[in-house]
Structure 1
């Protein structure tokens, strides 16, 4: 339930061929920077403008004057990067996305139609097609003890071997306002997270994470 094929439709990202190399999505995190630098060289100059070294922006994208685009990054077609957004670098942002006011992105892949519209921090994470993070929701990407992140699914523990790993949101995931996705969070397709939740571990597809940590399948809800 937490492989790349379980979580994502690869038809909706320029990172499809890159991600196909891996089984688990967190395996792709360490190579995002180099991947973007290589991908940028192949982009059609008639469609993408290279604004500075390592920064490519589609000509239909709207980048507000106060937004910061750190290299390397790619901003896709019809995407909006709004007021005071801070893209620190190593960010592939797909088509028809929203990177909103005061949002910070770092070492991420955003599939097409992803929305991070208000005061979000997204680091060392992959957000699937049509996923949405409510206002103030964040991915926490480093454990307080600075040890390697473990993905927990009930009693099962998967050693990732990496210290920086935020969240993997499957396609059509909805994260509620002011929710925190703790390091190593994996949320399956079509699942929802209640506002102000503190999420950790694996949330199955088609589920709801409630604010007390209870997980229910959508078919079983009242």
Structure 2
């Protein structure tokens, strides 16, 4: 399930060329910087005013709304009819598809969203690819760097497999849904149509059409009146 076509409908992005020649979907992350640099250009923006900050190397599609407080450093390519909401921070080398939502206080770095991706509240997304109609609940964090030295590995055929990436967050297949306040550890791969409950701490590969239930124990005690 590591091929681009295993995870993503490549017709749901204007940038399918990024995946050409990629044996593994994460190989697109190795090409992302060069791809954006080759396809972005300086252009004036009607959004440029005192309440937003937009770098020179940023393309913004028709119908996209940029709210107050947004910073887009670029290089970045943003599609049509998106919502970039208050205080979003879009750093270097980001592709955002059409009809996407980037929410309040979300931070993006070296990542790609397919069309209709939705990340509406308080999330960090680094060195990751989110598929068609993928959704992150409020407060989801995608960790992209191991605490220990070395490249990020994924499990392949029961053995660790070096991705060749020091920074690699997650690949989320089409229609995936990650619950609020979950953490995806480096090298997470989530198959199409899978769901994670809120507050999940996930590491590894999840096949398509699965549900991860978080069954943390809760203790209920009698409330004692003080005084």
Is the structural similarity TM-score above 0.5?
Answer: yes
User: Paired residue for 1:7?
Assistant: 7
User: Paired residue for 2:211?
Assistant: 208
CA–CA separation in structure 2 for the residues paired with 1:137 and 1:54: 28
User: Paired residue for 1:39?
Assistant: 39
Identify if the C-alpha distance between structure 1 residues 49 and 100 changes in structure 2 by more than 3 Å, giving closer, same or farther. Answer: closer
CA–CA separation in structure 2 for the residues paired with 1:53 and 1:31: 21
Q: Give the 4+ runs in structure 1 shifted more than 6 A.
A: 48-51
TM-superposed deviation, 1:155: 2.5
**Does structure 1 residue 61 correspond to structure 2 residue 64?**
yes
Larger Rg: 2
TM-superposed deviation, 1:189: 0.2
Identify if the C-alpha distance between structure 1 residues 161 and 128 changes in structure 2 by more than 3 Å, giving closer, same or farther. Answer: same
What runs of 5+ residues in structure 1 fail to find an aligned partner?
A: 214-222
TM-superposed deviation, 1:65: 2.5
CA–CA separation in structure 2 for the residues paired with 1:40 and 1:160: 27
TM-superposed deviation, 1:49: 9.1
TM-superposed deviation, 1:154: 7.3
Q: Secondary structure at the match of 1:161?
A: strand
Q: Secondary structure at the match of 1:122?
A: strand
Of 122, 126, 130, the residue aligned with 2:129 is: 126
User: Paired residue for 1:194?
Assistant: 197
Higher strand share: 1
Give the TM-score of the pair, scaled to structure 1. Answer: 0.88
Alignment of 1:78-117 (within 5 A): 78-117=81-120
TM-superposed deviation, 1:153: 5.1
> Would the aligned equivalents of 1:153 and 1:201 in 2 still touch at CA under 8 Å?
no
How large is the RMSD of aligned CA atoms in angstroms? Answer: 2.2
What runs of 5+ residues in structure 2 fail to find an aligned partner?
A: 49-53, 217-227
Number of residue pairs aligned between Structure 1 and Structure 2: 210
Q: Secondary structure at the match of 1:33?
A: helix
> Would the aligned equivalents of 2:121 and 2:137 in 1 still touch at CA under 8 Å?
yes
CA–CA separation in structure 2 for the residues paired with 1:28 and 1:91: 12
